[in-house]
Structure 1
């Protein structure tokens, strides 16, 4: 993209998206000024935009009531093309959004226990390599905190300096009933405090008996994967009458180190996890109440691209939700509490040392949304939410380690606080059958702060004193806006143009990590690149100005074929990237650190302007459908994204061009599939991170399954030809390639990526009764 064209596009986009938030700015600033003190605490591809909602009892007719007869089971409606529903949706779907049903999660669970990997079945979706069940999702070139994840409306913040416990690690794939991803331009009612995308996950929607008899259902599933000798069990059980339902869902799984395509064992890739949840739901006269409690236990999880491993992660949560349907519209409220106790260390024999690192994090919040039917053509959504987060991060002293790690406790984050208060209003209008518009404004105020810190010894005193002497309280007043214009000229085509301004404030680690010593800096960072990081109190929030256009075509019934293409462009002001650090007199942040090109380096978080642009494409075609040969569906997806700072530095961890081609076949009880995954060479790498390049590769995956009444057996082979390849977003291998260190022991060698998993024979047996 030429510099003249790029600059002109940026100016136009900045003007357009900034105008979206101006009407709300004055009100929000007035409200913020009334606060005398900051609050304390924190913060198989489904191609059509289809929402699956369980049928709920309705006590009395509402505006525009339909005359269709009641249905049992799920009600499926196309949110992109249907007129305003009688029970208005609180979450409008843009044409670029995608919903993956629970069946996709079940299919994916044959080959992985990492729920984040589901996002790779969406064009534009990718994952940053991490632990075996803790990958970080990325959408349209940005990942980690820039993609917000909600589990049953519950927001979970990173409680680890390496983000080893991301939100999607708290649900097993088999627990997922649906996953909805919003890419690019998302309505403001979807949420705030993100710039890349939003992922909404729903688990275990309640089931109720349709008659006076008691409803009982149980499903138990066990799996085995040859690569890594992975095995585990999942279960779900429900007991319900016509108005009350109790459901358990959960599972346990473990794996050893996996092998790459050349037979090499990739060290520090072992893991064990269990997640459990119990939900109690009650429905009455158009109201649905749900209370869910649960928790997680991970006794160990290796990280080949980090210096540390997870040696324990415990969490518990309580999540309550109310959905009500009234004559005037729909009301949704939720409240949650989530607590994490996390410990990092070393898992022998791949990593041998002693350095305990502990974290305690608490998330607390609520969400209120109302969808009001203003007229036969207008729907107004209003809402308010609060997300409060507290974090303590400390590293106990190691006896006999000298001044490096004793005699004091290293306080990394002391009483970290991040509180966000968000409010939005949104107007959806169906002008006629062809035209629909959606406009929304949003304000999020974020208050952040932290207490004093200390190091292990006097060698950390200067950094601690510099940090403690600063005013560390920060208040960010953020404004978002979105505008969608949808045109459906006929029954086979749809076009949507969208503009959005999205804002994200820094997380606690980006703002408040403080030490410039080499050892401490290497403990910070969720990038998996072997580099060291330090925070920056003066970071500004990121502001993404995005424009996207989606064109979709399909057969009138949307059953035989469809194709969708979405080009997009995003200009991000104050993108939170990094600079090479330099501190006079420092042995770490020195002059040599500024110029190294083939070594691990030390970095400080810093704001830079950046731009991303790309295109997503997906489609499917029913190749045949008859009684003799069953039904065969061809599917495909393609994604390209380019990300670069305006000073010419490439953004880190941007997925290279990639595609998937598949054929799914059903015949009676048989379900079969073949998939080809294509990934281009990663040549656009971040110069400041010293990111390594990776080669192109292709993988072939096969699966088949058969159902006998209540029993189903699935078998598959991933990476059929045992291809050796490096993960383009896997980061640096810090364990398998090491050299003797001047201080004794060994240290990782720069320049080696993380190999992907080799061939694996997978099987799963599921029994329902």
Structure 2
């Protein structure tokens, strides 16, 4: 019988005065704290939850192999990556992904601002810039959770370092990968003194389309005259990006203040499972933080603002001209609109998104006793979004299509968390978090207000504009975690939670059912078109997780088994938007609340095989099983992993650090029928990695997919990368996204 517990937040009244009072209290505390106090040590936030964690040092042998920061998370059991652009993978934790996961970069809550989610948070942090990544799977503590049901990912840059004497240091690196001729470089320059820290970091990378191990399609046409795409080439998979960050920090006594200025310029990124390509993504961010150690614990605050300008259109592997002349194979001339139907032509389909994401965080860690810690905090986040498509001719004109007009999503949160050592072998953590999520959007219009405009734009816009668009949700999260040391070797952990997520702006306010417009709105890469829903209720998940950990007394062998179950009320899935849904083709779908259940188990194993004159030999393995289904329809949830695992044999001696890896996946047969998901065959991939380190220089080399295996990615979505992608069924249906064939890579990094 499924477990049941629920506490609806609408039974709790939290006034604006309460928010203001707590925020004032938290901000005011440092004004009354002395600067020359004897302070106590406070452990990092959410210590009882013990997230999966990996540092830059541990990732060095993988950084040269990938430009996608999200891909580095696949080393954790229960974490996988949904295919998107080359630097824009979407991490999935135990079957829940994208906005169902809270992702923080250097303390900033970030969200994708694109109808295809081409700019997810981790795309703004290059692998070479990572200091540490932490993953809270499922039951994340309330201090690290909020507006998410799948878990939390916290990615951080290298922390500021201070020195007794002025010191200049840095690093420079480069890499190359053979399959898609990807190349790039990184530069890090730091100056530190006893009180000041100044750092610049920059990363640049570029790559062409990648190739599968063999032919996976039957069509070479790109939709552009004279431009053919090889049958083993994955169209629209090239990329170019650069990220820059300037950091200034000052440490004085018990205070640490840091300012981070970030900038990204991405002129191109192809998306092989979407109908558009990214042709510009420019981000500016300001992130100011302050923390103070006090006699009772630690105070923290953060203020940030992020501005994104994002543009999409058809890249070189897709048809660009549309209209009657283009259909007859004739060249299109000057752009024309509805007044000349005989010669109608549309020059692409320019789409633009502009967003401003602002936030404030204040919190306090208070040591009540030597064995008791209280965390109090408040969060505020506001996203403002405009999504509009300028006229390009033909049916795309004469005006501007307002996909989301002055969209706004505002979160206000309060949390309290208590961590206490009940006994030397027993630790307990529990917490509560209240969030109010408010959404709104202004009236919209299509390309034309004419009743004769294609897709009933005028009528659907009028219906949307008459509807109540001002929405508000009151969400209450609850978590409890208990850890008990059964013996020196065995540890038992039990965690339970209630988590909530409110719909994002695209799930809510995308309004047009016109096939062309709907197909441009797609968050999952399945090739279908999507329409929003103003009546969506928040997803509410009830989670129960168990963890049994064993470690030998000499710490040379470790085993962890983690079963879990998640039940989601009002899970936001998809249903047919009209009565024309058909199997074997792309369709127009609408977001709809349903029910879901996800249950599975994650396994981690590590053992030292030998440590002698030949070096240190270790064997590690991770494996995950997940049964995720929509309990209303009985179908599988879209883009979830089948049974899969990874086995790694590693060897270290002197400066050498080498590994042989075997990645395995079972056939994917539990599918989302409504989305037209395709089955994928099981496969096994072999990777070889070799590296050598000197005091200042590190060289990395390796081969991915060593045996050049042709395989389809279970979470890759539909291949929609070439041809007439503006037409809903103008491209082949039923081609799953192929993985990359054999690729040899090399990288170097020099520190000074």
- The aligned counterpart of 2:192 is 240
Cα pair 1:351 1:735 within 8 Å, conserved = no
Q: Which residue of 2 aligns with 1:753?
A: 736
Query: Residue 287 of structure 1: CA displacement?
Result: 1.8
Q: Tell me how far 1:349 sits from its aligned partner.
A: 4.0
Which of 640, 643, 649 is matched with 2:635 structurally?
649
Cα distance between partner residues in 1 of 2:547 and 2:417 = 21
The CA distance in 1 between the partners of 2:16 and 2:540, in whole Å, is 19
Aligned partner of 2:13 in structure 1 is: 29
* Partner in structure 2 of residue 42 of structure 1: none
2:621 is aligned with 1:640: no
Could you say what secondary structure the match of 2:461 adopts? helix
For residues 672-751 of structure 1, the aligned pairs below 5 Å read: 672-735=658-721, 747-751=730-734
Residue in 1 aligned with 2:278? 310
Is 1:320 matched with 2:314?
no
C-alpha contact 2:286 2:306 (8 A) present in aligned 1? yes
* CA–CA separation in structure 1 for the residues paired with 2:18 and 2:105: 33
The question of whether the paired residues in 2 share the 8 Å contact of 1:90 and 1:330 is answered with no
Partner of 1:419: 410
| 8 A contact 2:421–2:428 mirrored in 1 | yes
Return the match for 2:539 from 523, 542, 565. 542
Over residues 469-510 of structure 1, what are the superposed CA-to-partner deviations in whole Å (9 max), with x where a residue is unaligned?
Answer: 011000100000001111012322211111000000000000
- Residues 151-300 of structure 1 mapped to structure 2, 5 A cutoff: 151-209=105-163, 211=164, 213-262=165-214, 264-300=232-268
Q: Distance in 2 between matches of 1:315 and 1:672?
A: 37
1:485 and 1:371 mapped to 2: Cα distance? 20
Offset of residue 768 of structure 1: 1.0
CA–CA distance in 2 between the matches of 1:226 and 1:396? Answer: 38
Q: Any idea what SS the aligned residue of 1:189 has? A: coil
CA contact (8 A) 1:88 1:373 kept: no
Equivalent residue number for residue 661 of structure 1 = 647
DSSP-derived class of the 2:194 partner = coil
Aligned partners of 1:487, 1:244: CA distance in 2, in Å?
A: 43
The worse-fitting range, judged by mean Cα deviation, of 193-202 and 644-653 is 644-653
Q: Residues 132 and 158 of structure 2 are in contact (CA less than 8 Å); yes or no, is this contact kept in structure 1?
A: no
Moved more, 97-106 or 609-618: 97-106
The residue that corresponds to 1:592 in the other structure is 580
Match of 1:413, SS state, is strand
Please state whether the residue corresponding to 1:107 is helix, strand or coil.
helix
Tell me the CA shift for residue 539 of structure 1.
0.2
Paired position in structure 1 for 2:335: none
Determine if the alignment matches structure 1 residue 359 to structure 2 residue 364: no
Aligned equivalents of 1:712 and 1:727: distance in 2?
32
2:486 alignment partner, SS class: strand
Q: Which residue of 1 aligns with 2:49?
A: 94
Q: What does the per-residue CA deviation read over 1:41-81, in whole Å, with 9 as the maximum and x for residues that have no partner? A: xxxxxxxxxxxxxxxxx965445xxxxxxxxxxxxxxxxxx
For each residue in 1:605-659, what CA deviation from the matched residue of structure 2 results, as whole angstroms up to 9, or x when unmatched?
0000111100011121111123x11212111100111111122122111111110
2:423 is paired with a residue of what secondary structure? coil
- C-alpha deviation, 1:90, in angstroms: 2.4
| Unaligned residue ranges in structure 2 (runs of 5+) | 20-34, 216-231, 322-347
| 3-state SS in 2 of match to 1:639 | strand
Distance in 2 between residues matched to 1:534 and 1:34, nearest whole Å: 37
* CA deviation after TM superposition for structure 1 residue 391, in Å: 0.1
> Residue 517 of structure 1: which of 506, 514, 518 is its match?
514
1:566 to 562, 566, 572: 562
Asked if the contact 1:106–1:173 (Cα under 8 Å) also holds between the matched residues in 2, the reply is no
Tell me the residue number matched to 2:746. Answer: 763
Q: 1:520 Cα deviation (Å)?
A: 0.5
Paired positions, count: 688
Residue 577 in structure 1 maps to residue 562 in structure 2: no
CA–CA separation in structure 2 for the residues paired with 1:615 and 1:524: 34
**2:419 is matched with which residue?**
428
Cα distance, 1:242 vs structure 2: 1.2
Q: CA deviation at 1:204?
A: 2.3
Mean alpha-carbon deviation: is it higher for 217-226 or for 638-647? 638-647
Q: Secondary structure at the match of 1:463?
A: helix
| Equivalent residue in structure 1 for 2:388, among 381, 387, 394 | 394
CA shift digits 1:236-272 (9 cap, x unpaired): 1111011111111220000000110116111110000
Deviation by residue 1:352-392 (Cα, 9 ceiling, x = unmatched): 34110000011000111211011122111111000100000
Q: Does the 8 Å CA contact 2:48/2:419 hold for their aligned counterparts?
A: no
Aligned pair partner of 2:438 in 423, 436, 447: 447
Q: Write out aligned runs for 1:84-123 (5 A).
A: 86-95=41-50, 97-123=51-77
Q: Please, which of 605, 612, 616 is the counterpart of residue 631 of structure 1?
A: 616
Which residue matches 2:4? Answer: 14
Residue 92 of structure 1, CA deviation: 2.8
Choose from 367, 374, 382 the match for 1:373.
367
Output the CA distance in 2 between the equivalents of 1:93 and 1:726. 39
Distance 1:262 1:167 in 2: 33
Counterpart contact for 1:610–1:644, Cα < 8 Å: yes
SS at match of 1:519: helix
Q: Is the 8 A contact 1:204 1:249 kept in 2?
A: no
How far off its partner does 1:33 sit? 10
Aligned to 2:463: 466
Q: Which residue of 2 aligns with 1:143?
A: 97
Residue deviations 1:96-141, cap 9 Å, x none?
Answer: x300111233322221100010111111111111110011111000
CA RMSD, 1 decimal:
1.8
Describe how 1:338-349 pairs up with structure 2 within 5 A: 338-349=306-317
Runs of 4+ in 1 over 3 A off after TM superposition: 32-35, 58-63, 738-741
Is the 2:318–2:724 contact (alpha carbons within 8 Å) kept by the matching residues of 1?
no
CA 1:194–1:496 in structure 2 vs 1: closer, same or farther (change >3 Å)?
same
| 1:159 shift after superposition | 1.1
Cα distance in 1 for residues equivalent to 2:44 and 2:552:
25
> 1:675·1:702 contact (CA, 8 Å) conserved in 2?
yes
Partners of 1:658 and 1:232 in 2: how far apart? 31
The Cα shift of 1:235 comes to 1.5
Q: Distance in 2 between matches of 1:219 and 1:379?
A: 39
